[in-house]
């Protein structure tokens, strides 16, 4: 089964709109691929979605995070990757992919997408990943 890490921006988009990112989580829930996340990614998700601009209550945030955790495999990371010089915070996504044996990172982040690949992990947008798993 394909294994993929969803970047925080993908998870946020899935929570706030029913676009490709939402479809991606739906596909994970249906078991079409294994969603892999790390505690660091979950922490970042919680921090970002808590920003006032999104307007979610604490209960809404916890419900959304719990729903995502319920469909994900949480992996503990031990790798220390320094691949994204422009935004070192993005390295946590790569670490989750490496330590979680994921073949893909699904992201909308330009710094990650620019890499295209890190070791054996392909970095692609949500629309491309959805096409891949629908074949």
More confident call, 86 vs 71? 71
To the question of pTM greater than 0.75 for the whole model, the response is: yes
Structural domain of 68 = 3-133
3-state secondary structure at position 104: strand
Average pLDDT value over all residues in the chain: 95
Strands 121-124 and 104-106: parallel
CA atoms in the 13 A half-sphere facing the CB of 16: 15
Looking at residue 135, its pLDDT comes to 80
Looking at residue 30, its pLDDT comes to 97
Radius of gyration of the chain measured on its C-alpha atoms: 14
State percent of the chain over pLDDT 70. Answer: 100
3-state secondary structure at position 106: strand
Q: What is the 8-class DSSP label of residue 54?
A: G
Question: Rounded mean pLDDT of 28-35?
Answer: 97
Strands 3-6 and 117-118: unpaired
Check which CATH number belongs to the domain holding 45 and give it: 3.40.50.1010
pLDDT tens digits, one per residue of 81-135: 988 888 888 999 999 999 999 999 999 999 999 999 999 999 999 999 999 999 8
Rounded-to-integer distance, Cα 106 and Cα 126, Å: 6
Domain count, the chain: 1
């Amino acid at each position: 089964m394909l294994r993929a890490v969803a970047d925080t921006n993908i998870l946020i988009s899935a929570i706030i709109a029913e676009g490709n990112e939402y479809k991606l989580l739906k596909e994970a829930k249906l078991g079409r691929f294994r969603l892999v996340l790390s505690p660091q990614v979950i922490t970042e998700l919680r921090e970002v979605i808590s920003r006032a601009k999104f307007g979610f209550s604490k209960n809404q945030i916890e419900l959304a995070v719990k729903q995502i955790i319920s469909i994900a495999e949480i992996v503990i990371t031990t790798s220390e990757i320094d691949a994204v010089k422009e935004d070192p915070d993005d390295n946590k996504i790569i670490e989750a992919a490496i330590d979680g044996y994921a073949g893909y990172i699904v992201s909308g982040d330009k710094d990650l997408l620019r890499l295209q690949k890190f070791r054996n992990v392909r970095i692609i947008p949500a629309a491309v990943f959805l096409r891949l798993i629908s074949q």
